[in-house]
Amino acid sequence: MPADVKAVEIDRRSNLSYDEFVRDYLMPRKPVVITDATAEWKAASWTPEWFREHYPGKKLLTDQGEMVMEDFIDAITTNGDEPGPFLREQPLADVFPDLVDHVQPTPKYALPNWLGGNYLLGRVTQRLNRESQVEVNFCGKRIFPYLHIDDLHVHAFINQLYGDKNLVVFPPDQERFLYRKGNQRFSEIPDVDQPDLERFPLFAQARPTRMVLHAGESVFMPCGWWHTTRVPGASLSTVFSIANASNWSDLVGDVENELSHRPKLASMYSLFLRGTGFVKSLGR
């Protein structure tokens, strides 16, 4: 076994200043659990029962089909053996437009965020803007369906609001043990807690970092870090993503790859995005 592979330790911080965040976590691309980033959010008091009371009869599009709120809450608060329904990666502004102000203010660590705004080409603008939306993940006991990295090399903040969440995390240099599906952003390993080592022998060399995120805590997941989650019971959380000077060049590389069927457009566009990034970084 190569001696250089060690599980990474993940700090838990509160009262973290912006400058410390940038120096110790954002620039070195090191995950950190921040225990007080969302303390002022109204969403800090979200519970399954609160949703039941506030949205009677509301139809939800879960991964198991359409359900009304009451049935959904019953299902996610009952710990059966089968995974229950999952309201997964849905834009908060679409599903609960009246709750957008519940996730304000945006934590200072997530600024500036260059994912909003207009980037001339409609398709690219939409792609970036979509990543900038706050998404909700509501579910009962279950595993997040896949070990993955996030799209477009964005950095993510996962904000746990109700219940616990177990995370399994691997740094980018362990990708060689993780059986990436081609050049997609997913691993072929269905469950890192019960890996089939005959099928995935290199995984034996991986050194996962495991941690629990409690309600009120957020984790900063830098771009390129592999992660998956499991929840032992009902869980409410949001995820939002950022791009700025710290990861812009990686993001532009991804956009360029996506346009690779039109090489001229891809290189012009990449030049434009890099230039825009440069101007934005001067504006700070």
Ligand X SMILES: O=C(O)CCC(=O)C(=O)O
Burial 123-139 (b: 16+ CB within 10 A, else e): ebeebbeebbbbbbbbb
Query: Which residue's CB atom is positioned nearest to ligand X?
Result: 229
Minimum distance from residue 227 beta carbon to Fe ion (Å): 6
Helix, strand, coil abundance in the chain, percent, nearest 5: 35, 25, 40
120-139 positions binding ligand X, by CB under 6 A: 137
Measured from the Cβ of residue 113, the count of other Cβ atoms closer than 10 Å reads: 17
Residue (of 18, 20, 90, 39) closest to 218 by Cα position:
39
191-250 positions binding ligand X, by CB under 6 A: 227, 229, 237, 239
Alpha helices in 84-213 (DSSP H): 92-95, 122-131
DSSP β-ladder status, 86-91 and 209-213: unpaired
Examine residue 105 and say whether the peptide bond preceding it is cis (omega within 30 degrees of 0): yes
Residue 273 binds: one of Fe ion, ligand X, none (C-beta under 5 to 8 A by kind):
none
Residue (of 154, 162, 119, 163) closest to 134 by Cα position:
154
Residue 67 or 154 with smaller CB distance to Fe ion: 154
Q: With contacts defined by CB under 6 A, name the span among 44-52, 150-158, 187-195, 197-205 that binds ligand X.
A: 150-158
Minimum distance from residue 239 beta carbon to ligand X (Å): 4
Residue 158 binds: one of ligand X, Fe ion, none (C-beta under 5 to 8 A by kind):
ligand X
Minimum distance from residue 11 beta carbon to Fe ion (Å): 20
State yes or no: residue 256 binds Fe ion (CB under 5 A). Answer: no
Q: Which residues bind ligand X (CB under 6 A)?
A: 89, 137, 144, 150, 156, 158, 165, 227, 229, 237, 239
Q: Which residues bind Fe ion (CB under 5 A)?
A: 150
